[in-house]
Structure formats: C-alpha cells, structure tokens
Amino acid sequence: MVSLLQIRDLIALYGQADLDLLSQRLHAPKSLIQAMLDKLVAMNKIEKVDITACLTGTSCKGCPESSNCSHPLYKIKSPPLCE
C-alpha cells in the first residue's frame, strides 16, 4: 500500500515529479496516486509547478515537450520565509 509519505519523499528526491513517474516508481494505479496528490496539495505539503516557468525559463517555445505539456508537475511546498 502506498502512503502519502512515500509520495512526498519521492517528490523531494526528484525535486519535482509528475503522475506518470510517481505511478511507475510506486507501482500503483494513476487514480490512486492522483487522489493522494490532491490530498497532499490540500494539506499544503506539495504544490503544482507553474508550467509557464518550465525548464526553458520563460516560455515553452523551445521545449521538446511543448506539444504534450498538459500534465502537471508537483514539488514540495516551500515554507514561508521569516521576516
């Protein structure tokens, strides 16, 4: 059985991860992983990555994945900075 902690740890290990990677690495159905990702987002443990600030910097124009970039990536939510 996959736990929320395993998903969070894998995202931390990779820096950011998508549903396909997590499902493959944890040998779990995508529907289960998606439900757990939604729970972690609701708990403010992870966040969806803004795909407009993708790997290429400011746009997806030069990205080889630009035609298939509809899947969200997730990363560990950064704690607020102390003022």
Residue ranges of the binding site: 54, 60, 63, 69
SS3 content of the chain, % helix, strand, coil (to 5): 45, 10, 45
Encoded amino acid at 4, one letter? L
Amino acid (one-letter) located at 27: H
Residue 17's DSSP bridge partners are: 74
Confirm if 71 and 18 have CB atoms less than 8 A apart.
Answer: yes
Binding residues for iron-sulfur cluster: 54, 60, 63, 69
